[in-house]
A and B are shown apart, each in its own frame.
Chain A
Amino acid sequence: MNIKKLGRLVTPYVVWLSILVMIPLVMMVILSFFETRGLDFTNATFTLSNWFRDLRDPSVLKALENSFTFAGITVAVVFLIGYPMAFILARSSFANKMVILMLTIIPMWSNSLLRNNALRNLFSEQSFVNDLLSKINLSFVLDIKGTPSAIIAGLVLTFLPFMILPVYTVLEKMDKSLIEASMDLGASPIRTFFKVTFPLSLKGVATGVIMVFLPSFSGFAVPYILGDGKFILVGTIIENSYNYNINFVSTLSILLVIIIFLMIFFVSKVDKEGESFL
């Protein structure tokens, strides 16, 4: 392959990346160290208060704590549901694995606002399910709207495919002779799972954890709709402050980027060939 040719092919991507990713990021970093009126720099003054005063505001700290908690619980629940699903799917001899995989993905294709508003309805006393059931004198009440459980349920339903897909891919690609080798060497199926299958699937788990944690940590639509707006999260603060304090919003956003990078760095360190987990 001619490197020069390849180099030229890369150019549009580099331009694209700099315009749409790097420049906005740099802008946010700059904004976070100033006090401006919107994007108008005419009376801008340099300040560190965004970083060292506003971030320490109790409401911001509470929001960070909430975001971490919700995202953490979501990751745990998604893992507990998603891993077994991916495992069963990868091991099964269904002819139509793809169909089943599609069934988990298809909900992602519907608009998430619509989906979460439907959930919100389902989680209230006057849900459409209850409505229908009451016609035949049954009742189904799952009145958890506005509670943490509703938010977790919404996040789990939204991000479950992000755990299933990478774990499934890793399990499916795994060399089956490794499983046989383990059994051959006297390990029972359960021991084989914990000694071979699971350690070797950690790459997929790590990908899944990042892909579920990040959007649940920074997102705001799901908690806002299902939590009745009762919980402040990092996402909600950004949303609320966007119109009057773009400097603080930039600071929070940069903080999120830093947290995200730290997580990816940490996971990739820990996951090096999956062996350090043992």
Chain B
Amino acid sequence: MGKKLIELKGITKRYDDEPVVDSIDLYINENEFITLLGPSGCGKTTTLRMIGGFEKPDEGQIILNGVVVNDIPPYERPINTVFQRYALFPHLNVFENIAFGLRNQKIAKEEIVSRVEAALKLVSLPNFAQRKVALLSGGQQQRIAIARAIVNRPKILLLDEPLAALDLKLRQNMQYELKEMQRKLGITFIYVTHDQEEALTMSDTIVVMNKGKIQQIGTPTGIYNEPKNRFVANFIGETNIIQGYYVHQNLVSFMGVEFECVDTHFADGEKVDVVIRPEDLDIIEPEGAKLAGIVSSSVFKGVHFELCVIINEKEFVVHTYENRPVGAKVGLKVDAYEIHLMKVEQSEY
């Protein structure tokens, strides 16, 4: 990964004295695909807008290539944005929409034509130059919006939930295309979404945010397998969280039973939250199983069945390929390396 391109230092933004972004520290490398992930109202879009220059931080500094850019207006930043609802200019055709940024830079006509054509080819819509934007489908408008941004060869491309309005199939295709595009162009992508699957599929780095604060920064696998707290564990995929305590090195106790585990960094006897992903629980015969309970519901999800197993009044969600009838007694097994332990937080979510 390249060198540090942009850095946020202690960024705070308040609306009516209510902090929506609360002293965030973050740096983003050249050529990185970074995703700001969180529920709506977590401050991710506000953070993006501050990087784009549409909002000014109340505190802190935004440093781009070693220069503080807090007071530089959006039209002077080497940053372009793909807006959530595309914001294509309805009075201009596709060509003029894409050429808009180039015309602002006083670029020669021939170069504008060739760059617009190249951009259209990149988003797989050649021959669309003379179309009216109002007559394009949602997916096509999306591609034009991307072409309009990247044609300017920005250092950073901001994407504000660009796929939110597309249907599932199109969204999945676009995810791969965007990732591919980012690789080819070597532009830093800063992507905002509330969709954890999207974030996991595309990102080099995920920044999980909640209530204006960064909860965890890490790679997709790191965030998924080793969530730092309950919020991250719950937000990234389905999960079972059980209270327990750390017995001693490589041994944890929960549900009144002791399990082997691989996590260290805990004191003997310390209270911990145990995280087990639904797909890491295996159904076994109830006899001799450490965890045994009754199936209370079973839902077919396509690839797998989602079972709800009640053990001592605690619900466990289990993903399995083999269905079990409701009311059946089953045992659950989990491997040591699939048990993840988290520090118990003072304030519970």
Q: Mark A250-278, 1 if CB is under 8 A from B, else 0.
A: 00000000000000000000000111001
Give chain A residues whose Cβ lies under 8 Å from the Cβ of B81. Answer: 180-181, 184
> Given the known A-B contacts A199-B91, A273-B90, A273-B91, are A181 and B83 also in contact in the complex, defined by CB atoms under 8 Å?
yes
Q: Mark A196-232, 1 if CB is under 8 A from B, else 0.
A: 1001100000000000000000000000000000000
Residues of B at under 8 Å CB distance from A?
Answer: 52-54, 73-76, 79-81, 83-85, 87-93, 100-101, 104-105, 132, 134, 148-149, 152
Tell me if A183 and B74 are in contact (CB < 8 A): yes
Give chain B residues whose Cβ lies under 8 Å from the Cβ of A188. Answer: 75
CA separation between A200 and B88, bound complex, in Å?
12
Tell me if A180 and B74 are in contact (CB < 8 A): yes
Residue of A nearest to B96 (CB): A278
A175 at the interface (CB under 8 A from B): yes
Tell me if A184 and B91 are in contact (CB < 8 A): no
Residue of B nearest to A179 (CB): B87
- Chain A, range 184-201, C-beta contacts under 8 Å to B: 184-188, 191-192, 195-196, 199-200
> Given the known A-B contacts A177-B83, A177-B85, A187-B75, are A182 and B90 also in contact in the complex, defined by CB atoms under 8 Å?
no
Tell me if B90 and A185 are in contact (CB < 8 A): no
- The DSSP consensus for interface residues of chain A is helix
Minimum Cβ distance to chain B for residue A192 (Å)? 8
CA separation between A175 and B85, bound complex, in Å?
10
CA separation between A192 and B14, bound complex, in Å?
28
Residue of A nearest to B134 (CB): A273
A178 at the interface (CB under 8 A from B): yes
Minimum Cβ distance to chain B for residue A148 (Å)? 37
Residues of A at under 8 Å CB distance from B?
Answer: 175, 177-178, 180-188, 191-192, 195-196, 199-200, 273-275, 278
Give chain A residues whose Cβ lies under 8 Å from the Cβ of B84. Answer: 177
Give chain B residues whose Cβ lies under 8 Å from the Cβ of A177. Answer: 83-85, 87
Minimum Cβ distance to chain B for residue A229 (Å)? 46
- Give the residue of B83, B90, B92, B104 whose beta carbon is less than 8 angstroms from that of A186: B104
Give chain B residues whose Cβ lies under 8 Å from the Cβ of A195. Answer: 100
Give chain B residues whose Cβ lies under 8 Å from the Cβ of A200. Answer: 89-91
Give chain A residues whose Cβ lies under 8 Å from the Cβ of B75. Answer: 183-188, 192
Tell me if A185 and B152 are in contact (CB < 8 A): yes
CA separation between A182 and B132, bound complex, in Å?
18
Give chain A residues whose Cβ lies under 8 Å from the Cβ of B74. Answer: 180, 183-184
Tell me if A185 and B104 are in contact (CB < 8 A): yes
Tell me if A184 and B52 are in contact (CB < 8 A): yes
- Give the residue of A180, A186, A273, A278 whose beta carbon is less than 8 angstroms from that of B101: A186
Tell me if B100 and A187 are in contact (CB < 8 A): yes
CA separation between A185 and B101, bound complex, in Å?
5
CA separation between A149 and B74, bound complex, in Å?
45
Minimum Cβ distance to chain A for residue B19 (Å)? 21
Residue of B nearest to A188 (CB): B75
Minimum Cβ distance to chain A for residue B134 (Å)? 8
CA separation between A191 and B80, bound complex, in Å?
17
- Give the residue of A178, A186, A199, A275 whose beta carbon is less than 8 angstroms from that of B87: A178
CA separation between A245 and B283, bound complex, in Å?
102
CA separation between A177 and B85, bound complex, in Å?
8
Minimum Cβ distance to chain B for residue A80 (Å)? 23
